[in-house]
Amino acid sequence: MKSHSGTKKRWRSLGSGDAFKRGHAARAHLNVSKGSDRVNRLGNTAYSSGAQTPKLKKRLLPYGTS
C-alpha cells in the first residue's frame, strides 16, 4: 500500500492524530506586490477541517500518525 506522495510532503499530523496541519504556499518570494495583511496571513499555520481529516488519514495510510 502506497501513501499519497503530495499529501505526505504537505501535511503533518498533530500529536493527537485527530487533525493535520500544513503551511501556506506563495510566501517565499515576490512578496512586494502582495499586501502586508496577505503576507502575514500566509505565514500562519493552516489546519485541516472536519471534512478533510478522514480524507487525509486515508491518503496517508499506513503513515497517518507520523
**Residue 66 placed within a domain:** no
Q: Which parts of the chain register pLDDT below 70? A: 63-66
**Residue 10 placed within a domain:** yes
pLDDT at 32: 97
C-beta contacts of 58-62 below 8 A and 24+ residues apart: 59/3, 59/4, 59/7, 60/3, 60/4, 60/7, 60/8, 60/11, 60/13, 61/1, 61/3, 62/1, 62/3
pLDDT at 11: 94
pLDDT at 9: 93
Number of domains, the chain:
1
User: CATH no. for residue 36?
Assistant: 4.10.410.60
What residues make up the domain containing 44? 5-59
Give pTM, 2 decimals.
0.79
